[in-house]
Amino acid sequence: MVQSLSMERGEPADPEEILFESLDAIFDLKPISVGSLGSSFVYRYDGIEGSRQYTPHTITLDTPDTKAANWHLHASAIWVSSIYLADHISEIEIPTSIPPKSNLSPLRVLELGASAGLPSILISKLFPDVSATVTDYPDDALIGTLTSNVRRNDVTLNCRVVPYAWGSDSSALLGADGDGFDIIIAADTLWNPELHSILVDSLTKTLKRTSSSRIHLIAGLHTGRYTIQAAIACAERMDLEIESILEREVDGSSQRPWCVYREGEDEQARRRWVVWIKLKWASPTPASSTAQDSESHVRENNYEQYASGQICSETSP
């Protein structure tokens, strides 16, 4: 499956685009985001050959802006991790359409920290029977662009935009019945350790309480390994557990196990990988494992004390 991004404009190339291309060409430093304000990007999903579900689609996106006070959110970009998620959207394993006469509710998908909304818009195109909710911080400019992207790509019937700040009241997301989401996705949302607790709080408030519900977090390794591990530890403290976690090459097919430290790894190498974390509700803990859990908790606390000095030096997106 191959995707492509191109810019729609009749003017000379944007300076930011020139910079991204120069970094890659001269220093072999892969960009972690694409897009610049005032430009539209075209994403082409080639689909899966022979599949009637995963068919080719073209999506046009405007890059969001925010108020100056919210620039620290790093929302004014289309992150490579969101493109990677879109390229591999089949791997979140959305089930096939519910029969028309079924009384079952449509499968519900939530995206947190969506920025331009690429993965949710693609899901909405591929699965017209799925109900997608795409969210980001309640900044008027950011939400305005996100809403425009949903309309521009003709998915308003099954994709709604909701302004949402992590850790706040989730009733607007859940709807009148208060039911949660079957699948939650988020791309490059782990970069700030200070936000981990409210992000995970939002995940646990909105994930449906079923054994089949899943969370998919995709983060570029530029986030920092200790920062990512701190997010994992936070999730595990809040009733979630890892089903799978893999490091995956952005422009290739290589995969490798997750580890907190890789000797000799530099920024150039980190930019070429993402980590895909799949979470679910934690299984009940047998009483016999209490002592083991206590020991694990001590090790975790020791790790966090060690990592705290490293976290503050990790780079944001």
**How does pLDDT run across 207-243, given as a tens digit for each residue?**
999 999 999 999 999 999 999 999 999 999 999 999 9
Return the pLDDT at 24. Answer: 52
Model confidence at 29, in pLDDT bands (50, 70, 90)? confident
Return the pLDDT at 275. Answer: 98
Least confident interval from 104-118, 147-161, 221-235? 104-118
Return the pLDDT at 75. Answer: 67
Q: In the chain, pLDDT over 70 holds for what percent of residues?
A: 76
Position 302 pLDDT exceeds 50: no
Model confidence at 284, in pLDDT bands (50, 70, 90)? confident
For residue 3, what are its two tokens? Answer: 């995707």
Whole-model pTM: value is 0.82
Report d(CA 62, CA 37) in Å as an integer: 8
Report d(CA 216, CA 214) in Å as an integer: 7
Report d(CA 162, CA 240) in Å as an integer: 25
Task: Give the mean model confidence (pLDDT) for residues 122-149.
Answer: 96
Position 38 pLDDT exceeds 60: yes
Position 62 pLDDT exceeds 60: yes
Do the beta carbons of residue 149 and residue 61 sit within 8 Å? yes
Return the pLDDT at 2. Answer: 41
Return the pLDDT at 179. Answer: 87
Report d(CA 33, CA 274) in Å as an integer: 13
Position 311 pLDDT exceeds 70: no
